[in-house]
């Protein structure tokens, strides 16, 4: 079965990344056996380089959504999501390179009861796994997640990687997109996925394909490490405050590993614990 697809690429001063990876994305779309029609949208977060000029001159078929202010990933991505016209969204970092099979394998999992699906993410050499199926842990009432860097484990996953995730557009809009409280970056994809789980919409992970990622090419280029560390710590606390189950659910000082399921968190293969409301 074929589906319509909107690819949304957030961009900030990423002209060189667009030049390197956008032609690959367009070629994969043209060759896809599962895409009935598609569009590519670059949501530009008030870049100060020549990203927009480059796109208009070299890729006139690519739609651009432009901003008068620099607002960070979640708000910028939301602008692109709202502009999308087709049934499924592929959220794609500007520093992510697709393979010939990425889109088709992800779209094999499209069904009415799923929120979205993600896949393996490797470094640019293909030798290191950066993103895989993940699980939730609660340590002293603080939520963490564990990446299972196995190249063979697939199924339900705690969250979809915002750098390479296929998502149902209607469900994404019903959730309001990414929560912009996490701006400028990090944890917005984890938050969105857990809100999807709260609605009973599954998040899946497949090892059938992968993408290559030039990790944090935009964040590290445009922000000092001290600022990145501060935002990471702040958003981790905010996320934990929002989603950590009530204190009575876990023993102080204990560590439990949880797997998301249709009915809630499953701790160590026990009965599901109801998903907390946001």
How would you classify the pairing of strands 88-92 and 63-66? unpaired
Residue 163, SS3 per DSSP: coil
Q: How does pLDDT run across 5-27, given as a tens digit for each residue?
A: 999 999 999 999 999 999 999 99
Q: What is the pLDDT of residue 179?
A: 96
Q: What is the pLDDT of residue 249?
A: 39
Q: What is the pLDDT of residue 252?
A: 37
Q: What is the pLDDT of residue 268?
A: 43
d(CA 200, CA 175): 12
Q: What is the pLDDT of residue 262?
A: 47
Q: What is the pLDDT of residue 148?
A: 60
Average pLDDT of the residues in 82-89: 98
Burial of residue 164 (CB within 10 Å: 0-12, 13-18, 19+) is: buried
Mean pLDDT over each residue of the chain, to the nearest integer: 85
Percent of the chain beyond pLDDT 70?
Answer: 81
Cα 239 to Cα 176, 188, 228, 247: the distances in Å are 17, 9, 16, 16
Cα 242 to Cα 141, 168, 200, 224: the distances in Å are 11, 24, 18, 27
How would you classify the pairing of strands 35-44 and 3-11? parallel
pLDDT reading at 126 higher than 70 = yes
Q: What is the pLDDT of residue 264?
A: 46
Q: Report yes or no: 159 and 115 within 8 Å, Cβ to Cβ.
A: no
Q: What is the pLDDT of residue 217?
A: 61
- Higher pLDDT, residue 232 or 62: 62
Q: How does pLDDT run across 178-210, given as a tens digit for each residue?
A: 999 999 998 999 999 999 998 999 999 998 999
In this structure, of 26-40, 95-109, 122-136, 235-249, the range with the lowest mean pLDDT score is 235-249
Percent of the chain beyond pLDDT 90?
Answer: 61
Q: Tell me the β-bridge partners of 41.
A: 8, 63
Q: What is the pLDDT of residue 242?
A: 86
Question: Going from the N-terminus, what domains does the chain have, and what CATH number goes with each?
Answer: 3-120+154-244 (3.90.550.10)
Nearest CA to 211 among 131, 117, 108? 131
Average pLDDT of the residues in 25-36: 97
Half-sphere exposure in the Cβ direction for 39 (13 Å, CA): 17
Q: How does pLDDT run across 218-275, given as a tens digit for each residue?
A: 676 778 889 988 998 899 888 888 887 654 333 334 444 445 554 444 444 333 333 4
d(CA 63, CA 75): 18
Q: Report yes or no: 191 and 182 within 8 Å, Cβ to Cβ.
A: yes
């Amino acid at each position: 079965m074929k589906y319509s697809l909107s690819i949304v690429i957030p961009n900030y001063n990423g002209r060189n990344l667009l030049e390197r990876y956008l032609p690959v994305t367009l070629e994969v779309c043209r060759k896809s056996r599962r895409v009935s029609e598609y569009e590519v949208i670059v949501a530009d977060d008030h870049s100060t380089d020549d990203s927009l000029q480059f796109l208009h001159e070299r890729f006139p078929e690519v739609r651009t959504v432009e901003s008068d202010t620099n607002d960070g990933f979640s708000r910028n991505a939301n602008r692109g999501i709202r502009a999308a016209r087709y049934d499924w969204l592929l959220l794609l970092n500007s520093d992510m390179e697709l393979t010939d099979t990425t889109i088709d394998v992800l779209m094999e999992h499209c069904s009415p009861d799923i929120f979205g699906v993600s896949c393996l993410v490797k470094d640019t050499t293909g030798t290191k796994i950066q993103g895989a199926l993940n699980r939730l842990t609660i340590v002293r009432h603080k939520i963490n997640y564990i990446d299972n860097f196995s190249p063979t484990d697939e199924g339900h996953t705690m969250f979809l990687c915002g750098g390479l995730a296929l998502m149902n557009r209607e469900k994404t809009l019903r959730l309001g997109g990414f929560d912009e409280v996490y701006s400028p970056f990090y944890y917005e994809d984890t938050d969105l996925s857990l809100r999807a789980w709260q609605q009973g919409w599954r998040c899946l992970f497949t090892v059938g394909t992968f993408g290559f990622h030039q990790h944090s090419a935009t964040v590290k280029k445009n922000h000092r490490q001290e600022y990145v560390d501060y935002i990471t710590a702040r958003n981790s606390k905010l996320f934990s405050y929002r989603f950590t189950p009530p204190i009575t659910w876990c023993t102080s000082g204990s560590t439990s590993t949880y797997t998301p399921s249709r009915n809630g968190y499953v701790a160590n293969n026990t009965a599901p614990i109801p998903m907390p409301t946001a």
